[in-house]
Amino acid sequence: MPDSPPSLDSVQLGAYFDLIEVTSLLRHAVEQQLREAGDLSYVQFQLLARLGDSPTGGHRMTDLADGVVYSRSGLTYQAGLLEKAGLVVRAPSPDDERSVTVTITDAGRALLAQVLPGHVEVVSSLLFAPLSRDDVTVLARLLAPVRDHMRSTPPRSAAPRRRSD
Amino acid sequence: MPDSPPSLDSVQLGAYFDLIEVTSLLRHAVEQQLREAGDLSYVQFQLLARLGDSPTGGHRMTDLADGVVYSRSGLTYQAGLLEKAGLVVRAPSPDDERSVTVTITDAGRALLAQVLPGHVEVVSSLLFAPLSRDDVTVLARLLAPVRDHMRSTPPRSAAPRRRSD
DNA sequence: GTTTACTGCTTCGAATTCAAATGGTGCGTT
DNA sequence: AACGCACCATTTGAATTCGAAGCAGTAAAC
């Protein structure tokens, strides 16, 4: 017989559905704000934010793509747009000739600073408004192990297919 | 002075980022499983699941779109695909001539039953594996008020634009 | 040192998404 | 009853997305 019929109890099911719905709604709201405030898509904002966080202001393409959970070809496309807009610069990496290092420009930092307050405002008022300070702490403690677990779980396709394929 | 400079403390920021990352990773994994198990996109699965839950097996287009947080035109497209695949049927609503009622077919229910176990398996092993039973209960209790708050918060565009526009 | 396998990025084509514009239908007002 | 306004769904066109294929550069094996 197959390994224990997988099932989710009603609490799990509700948590799962709510998780999906909450992030969908949040993403829509944020997307709209970013479009209005700086003509940025959510992905573009994520990329700029990640670059802005980096001490050097730069990242390799692949690491950047992994960081925002995005396809490599998609990143190439977005990097092209951002570069055309003068928000980032692409240059061959010093140590490895294959890889490209993307670096945020001053204009990129400026735009980031321009849209950030509104972004924070949306997240605050939509996601954190109904939560107390303690609630947020608890939520963070719940999410961290899930994040680590997911990061360390190879995306199915990467799992070595032993036999029968 | 402007309303209190909005900002997120480090705990909030971490929770927000983890939330985005966790759902992105989860979505990718689920998407892949659904594609393999039944050649369904995530949206299509959500639509079928919602229809399958309905007592009548049917929903109006708009309600369906709102339920899965999706654009109306996008839903028209997906409903067309699902109908072509014989998984749903579209018919004019009995009471309101303008609206269309989408109803799941037996084939749709069958496919849903076919992909569901794998879907549950992915969600279980990826999202719930690192969480105890109590953790999930706490998570559910945190998400519910956020969900309700977001549902009752009109999507910016619907908010009446007072001045300066 | 050459061959072979692997990594990193880009290009290409197909599929999906959304916003804006279109065509009907219901509903309240005049 | 005709009008105006709001709502429902679809069509259309542009933009974005991904996977597969292609093109380097790098590392490993022999």
Q: What's the whole-number average pLDDT of chain B? A: 89
Nearest 5°: the CA angle A43, A44, A46 is 65
Taking the Cβ of residue A144 and every Cβ of chain B, the question of whether any pair is shorter than 8 Å is answered with yes
Decide if A150 and B121 are in contact by the 8 Å CB cutoff.
no
The 3 state secondary structure assigned to A128-155 is HCCCCHHHHHHHHHHHHHHHHHHHHCCC
Model confidence at B162, in pLDDT bands (50, 70, 90)? very low
Is residue A162 situated within a structural domain? Answer: no
Is residue B162 situated within a structural domain? Answer: no
Burial of A108 (0-12, 13-18, 19+ CB in 10 A): buried
Is residue A133 situated within a structural domain? Answer: yes
Tell me the residue ranges of DSSP E strands in A10-117: 58-60, 88-92, 100-104
Contact between the CB of A39 and strand D at under 7 Å: no
Is residue B13 situated within a structural domain? Answer: no
Is residue B72 situated within a structural domain? Answer: yes
CB-nearest partner of A149 from B129, B139, B147: B129
Higher local confidence (pLDDT), A163 or A113? A113
Which chain A positions have a beta carbon within 8 Å of B130's beta carbon? Answer: 145-146, 148-149
Which chain A positions have a beta carbon within 8 Å of B12's beta carbon? Answer: 123-124, 128, 136
B3-7, B22-26, B141-145: least confidently modelled range: B3-7
Is residue A55 situated within a structural domain? Answer: yes
Count of domains in chain B?
1
Q: Do the beta carbons of residue A30 and residue A119 sit within 8 Å?
A: yes
pLDDT tens-digit readout, A134-160: 999 999 999 999 999 999 887 664 443
> What is the Cβ-side half-sphere exposure of residue A112, based on CA atoms within 13 angstroms?
22
Contact between the CB of A40 and strand D at under 7 Å: no
pLDDT tens-digit readout, B118-133: 999 999 999 999 999 9
Per-residue model confidence (pLDDT) at position A165: 32
Residue B6 CA to its chain's centroid (Å):
29
Interhelix angle A10-38/A106-123, nearest 10 degrees: 130
CB-nearest partner of B18 from A121, A129, A143: A143
CATH code of the domain containing B46: 1.10.10.10
Is residue A165 situated within a structural domain? Answer: no
Is residue B8 situated within a structural domain? Answer: no
Q: Which long-range contacts (CB under 8 A, 24 or more apart) does B87-96 make?
A: B87/B44, B87/B48, B87/B111, B88/B47, B88/B48, B88/B51, B93/B60
Decide if B15 and A136 are in contact by the 8 Å CB cutoff.
yes
Residues 49-108 (A) with a CB less than 8 A from some CB of B: 68-69
> Whole domain around residue A117: which residue ranges?
16-153
